[in-house]
Each structure stands twice: as C-alpha cells, then as structure tokens.
Amino acid sequence: MEITNVHVLPNRVNKSNVKAFCQVTFDDVFVVKNLVVVTDSEGYHYVNMPSKTLKNGTRLDIAHPITESFRKYIEDKVLVEFERVLNELLNSPKCAE
C-alpha cells in the first residue's frame, strides 16, 4: 500500500498544540481523514490517527496502522508535507508583510 497524496491544513490557532489537520490517500483509491499533527511540550511533532471521544471521555480509534513500520511510514510522509506547507506559508508574500 502506497501513500499517493497527503493534504495538510495548518491550524492557525497559535497557542494550540494541534498544528495541522491532515488527510492521507492510499493508492489513489482510499482516503483517511482527520489525522492531526500535534506538538508535545518539547516541541516534537507527531501524528495522531483519527479517533472519536465518547461522552464518558474514552477515546475510540477510527483508523490506525497495525504495525510500527507502517505507522512510521505514514508519520514520515505527513510530517514531510507538514514541513513543506509551513515553509511555503512562511515564505509567502503575505507572511513577509
């Protein structure tokens, strides 16, 4: 299974640890939405898989990789695109004003 597209939408709320919302397309035929790039207290970025919080506060996974190697593959692709989008925004003429 190959990731054929990653879409990243940066979160513009400055004080949030949620830095972006993402979707990943596999083999141009299957999309997983609601992945989230978050930053921990040390500034490290990582990817949370889509989940739903139940009324009692329990988090329920909606989709997640089964193997650590596939999780790393997804995270690497998402974070590369996240960095590209951030650099593009920082270098845009609007940001320079």
pLDDT at 94: 64
Burial of 86 per CB tally in 10 Å (0-12, 13-18, 19+) = middle
Structure confidence at residue 33 as a pLDDT band (50, 70, 90):
very high
31-40, 51-60, 88-97: least confident range: 88-97
Q: Do residues 60 and 54 make contact, with C-beta atoms less than 8 angstroms apart?
A: yes
Q: What is the pLDDT of residues 52-64, one digit of tens each?
A: 999 999 989 899 9
Domain 3-96 annotated CATH 3.30.1120.40 = yes
Boundaries of every domain in the chain: 3-96
Structure confidence at residue 14 as a pLDDT band (50, 70, 90):
confident
d(CA 65, CA 55): 25
